Amino acid sequence: MQKRPEIKDYIRTIVDFPHEGIMFRDVTTLFADPRGFRMAVDQMLHPYMGLEIDKVVGLEARGFILGGAIAHQLAKGFVPVRKKGKLPGTTISQDYKLEYGEAIVEIHDDALLPGEKVLVVDDLLATGGTAEAGIKLIERLGAEIVGCSFIVDLPELGGRQRLESMGIEVNCLCEFEGA
C-alpha cells in the first residue's frame, strides 16, 4: 500500500539559494500540485475553523497566494503586507531584520479596523522577523491577532519561539532542519 503524501513531500529543496549555505524550501512545487495546494490550504485553515476571523493578512509574497485562498474559503477579506513602496495608498511601515538582510514592510493605514480579528499567513517561518513586523503593523492599527499559520517552520532559526514569546499562537504544517 502506498503512503499518502504529506505536505513535506510536495516541497523541494534548492541548495545554496539565495546564498551559499542556504537550503531554500521551495513551496512553488506545492502550489503547482492541485492536491498538495488544496491540502495545504485546508490544513492551514483547520485550527481556526469556528473562530471569529474578520480578515486574513498575507505576508509578501507567497503569503498572498495562501492568504487569498484562505480568505476565500472563510469568505473574509484579504489584506496584503507588502515590501516598502508597493502599496498605492497611505501606509504605515515597519522595519525588520531577516535571516540575510534588512527590509521594510507596509500596510495601508485603513486596511484594518480597531478590534478586527486577524489571521496572519505566510509560507515559511524562519527567524520570525517578517511575521513580527507584520504583527506590529496589525497591532498599530488596533486589530487583534487570532494566530499565525505557516506551511514550513525552520525551528533552528527560532521564529516560532520569537512569535510565541509575543503571545501569538503559531501553527506550522511541517518542519525542516537547517537554515
Confidence of residue 100 (pLDDT cuts 50, 70, 90): low
Helix-, strand-, coil-residue percentages of the chain, each rounded to 5:
30, 35, 35
Q: Which of 4, 20, 62, 140 is catalytic?
A: 62
The H-or-E segment that residue 40 falls in is helix 34-45
62 is catalytic: yes
Cross-strand pairs, 55: 77, 118
Query: Which tens digit of pLDDT belongs to each residue from 147-162?
Result: 999 999 999 999 999 9
In this structure, the strands spanning 55-59 and 170-175 are: unpaired
Q: Is the pLDDT of residue 38 over 70?
A: yes
Q: Which of 60, 99, 144, 169 is catalytic?
A: 99
Count the neighbouring beta carbons within 10 Å of the beta carbon of residue 77. Answer: 15
pTM score: 0.95
Residue ranges of domains in the chain, CATH in brackets = 40-175 (3.40.50.2020)
Query: Which tens digit of pLDDT belongs to each residue from 63-72?
Result: 999 999 999 9
